[in-house]
């Protein structure tokens, strides 16, 4: 799912899939537990997916925004369990850019300080405010390409818009295919990789 959302954002009407469909909430989102200390990064979200794969076995994965980047990481790291991954644009797709900035953005530090000072609890709000960390992680294109190259198959849901560097580099890989941004059509395309 996208950053600051939950698995509730995926409707059954959009997902045309024969067989079971599992939707998980990353740590700090939706019905998942909040992480002690507020550590939220795509690689940690990938461990959430990996834990689910241990329970359900091999399957295709799909993600939007932040979830698309996580799907890429898991598809490249667990090739024996993921025959195909479908990536949609959405909130959290860009991350903190292709490389670190030498000059920190003071507003980002203020935003992070506010998130850590927040006294909300999981009973009061669904998403831990500290997941804001995940929108600023660095996503180098060569790092993303290494996961894309190891994956069995990737589908990029395209709408003709410019994407971040990590997405752009995936377009050049041989096992990457473009598909419709329409979720029903995109899931139909993903079903070929089961």
- Residue 27 in any domain: the answer is yes
Q: Is residue 124 very low, low, confident or very high in pLDDT (cuts 50, 70, 90)?
A: low
- Residue 2 in any domain: the answer is no
- Residue 21 in any domain: the answer is yes
- Residue 72 in any domain: the answer is yes
Domain containing 126 — which CATH number?
Answer: 3.40.50.1820
Residues 6 or more apart whose CB falls under 8 angstroms from that of 11 comprise none
Which residue has 């996208």 as its token pair? 2
Cα distances from 40 to residues 78, 80, 151, in angstroms, run 21, 26, 24
Q: What is the DSSP letter of 147?
A: H
Q: What is the overall mean pLDDT for the chain?
A: 88
- Residue 142 in any domain: the answer is yes
- Residue 119 in any domain: the answer is yes
Among 122-126, 136-140, 160-164, the least confident range = 122-126
Residues 6 or more apart whose CB falls under 8 angstroms from that of 192 comprise 84
Tokens representing 70?
Answer: 């996580």
Number of CB atoms found within 10 A of residue 134's CB: 25
- Residue 183 in any domain: the answer is yes
Which residue has 């909130």 as its token pair? 91
Which residues form the domain of 158?
7-96+103-193
Q: Is 0.85 surpassed by the pTM of this model?
A: yes
Q: Is residue 12 very low, low, confident or very high in pLDDT (cuts 50, 70, 90)?
A: low
Separation CA 20–CA 11 (nearest Å): 14
* Nearest CA among 175, 163, 194 for reference residue 62: 194
Please tell me the total count of domains within the chain.
Answer: 1
- Residue 1 in any domain: the answer is no
């Amino acid at each position: 799912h996208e950053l600051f959302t939950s698995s509730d954002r995926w409707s059954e009407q959009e997902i045309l899939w024969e067989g079971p469909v599992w939707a998980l909430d990353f740590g700090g989102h939706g019905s998942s537990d909040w992480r002690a200390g507020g550590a939220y990064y795509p690689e940690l979200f990938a461990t959430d997916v990996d834990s689910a794969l241990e329970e359900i076995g091999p399957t295709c994965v799909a993600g939007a925004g932040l979830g698309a980047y996580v799907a890429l990481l898991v598809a490249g790291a667990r090739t024996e369990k993921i025959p195909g991954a479908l990536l949609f644009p959405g909130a959290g797709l860009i991350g903190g850019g292709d490389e670190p900035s030498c000059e920190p953005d003071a507003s980002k530090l203020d935003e992070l300080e506010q998130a850590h000072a927040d006294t909300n609890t999981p009973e009061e709000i669904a998403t831990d405010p500290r997941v804001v960390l995940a929108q600023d992680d660095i996503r180098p294109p060569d790092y993303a390409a290494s996961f894309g190259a190891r994956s069995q198959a990737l589908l990029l849901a395209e709408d003709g818009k410019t994407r971040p560097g990590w997405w752009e580099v995936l377009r050049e890989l041989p096992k990457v295919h473009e598909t419709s941004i329409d979720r029903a059509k995109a899931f139909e395309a993903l079903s070929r990789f089961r």
